[in-house]
Amino acid sequence: MLGCEHCRGHYLGSMKDVSDPEVVYTTAMELAREGASGFLLSGGSDLEGSVPLEAHIGVLRKIRRDTPLMINLHTGLVTPDRVELIRSIPPHVVSLDMVGSTETIREIYGLDLDVERFENSYRFLKEACIKTVPHITVGLHRGVIKGEFRAVDMVSDTDLLVLNSLIPSHTGKRVCEDDFISVLEYALDTIPGRVYLGCMRERGRSSLEIKALKAGASGIVIPGRKTLAWARENGPFESVQTCCAVHR
């Protein structure tokens, strides 16, 4: 695991350890019996920015065959060969983080890579007809806007874009509302599809969430109570119990 500056594996720590492929299968069977709609398989990245999924491909095929669960994969960066492995499952959706600044990739992710590797990964997945939902973390570079607009341009053909925001902890500062909304508005003007506010963002910011809805965001994952009250009053309003990347 890279231990990237903005996260250092903190959020992976709250996820179930399924590094053993057989644990993935038994966990999936439990989820299916409990009536879950699906699951996200994620993990720390290697020095190439990839999540090491190779050992899990076979068991994911079995899960796809044996259950109705929606499979959402964090693949990290991919090559054409890895795309063929992923397509052999196939997952219902791939969630792919997009970064539009080489400086951010090197300083925050600690990867000796450039923006083109992220853009190429998106294209490889799309060309393989794998449903891919790009995620952009606004303020990833310590709370400063750096490359977010370019990242939007890189996925300008997507039918769904998820915007997250830096969650300040040991590094950075909170993203100001105007900066976040400027990225949202640019995305709404650029892509043909919908824009959601994703789950990996700072909580307790109903003012920003309401501004996002007013600006045209199509949905918010785990909105604040004030945001919910505003949405119900200013509808139409729909509550959906599923991951935003698989909701259509």
Number of structural domains the chain divides into: 1
Q: What share of the chain has pLDDT > 70, as a percent?
A: 92
Question: Rounded mean pLDDT of the chain?
Answer: 91
Tell whether 21 is covered by a domain.
yes
CA 108, 113, 116, 119 dihedral sign is negative
Say which range, 127-136, 153-162, 232-241, has the weakest mean pLDDT. 232-241
Q: Answer whether residue 148 shows pLDDT above 90.
A: yes
The helix/strand/coil state of 105 is helix
Tell whether 30 is covered by a domain.
yes
The H helix count followed by the E strand count for the chain is 9, 7
User: Exposed (0-12), middle (13-18) or buried (19+): which is 141, by Cβ within 10 Å?
Assistant: buried
Which residues have CB under 8 Å from 101's CB, separation 6+?
115, 141, 146, 147, 150
**In this predicted model, what pLDDT tens digit does every residue of 53-84 receive, in sequence order?**
999 999 999 999 999 999 999 999 999 999 99
Tell whether 225 is covered by a domain.
yes
CB contact at 8 A, 95 and 135: yes
Residue 192 belongs to domain spanning: 12-234
Tell whether 221 is covered by a domain.
yes
Tell whether 245 is covered by a domain.
no
pLDDT for residue 57: 96
SS3 content of the chain, % helix, strand, coil (to 5): 40, 15, 45
Residue 74, token pair as written in the block:
């964090």
- Distances in whole angstroms, Cα of residue 222 to Cα of each of 17, 45, 79, 84, 156: 24, 26, 33, 34, 26
Tell whether 186 is covered by a domain.
yes
pLDDT higher for 49 or 45?
49
> How many angstroms separate the CA atoms of 152 and 188, rounded?
10
Tell whether 201 is covered by a domain.
yes
Tell whether 242 is covered by a domain.
no
pTM for the whole structure: 0.91
Quote the DSSP letter at residue 193. Answer: S
CATH of the domain at 139: 3.20.20.70
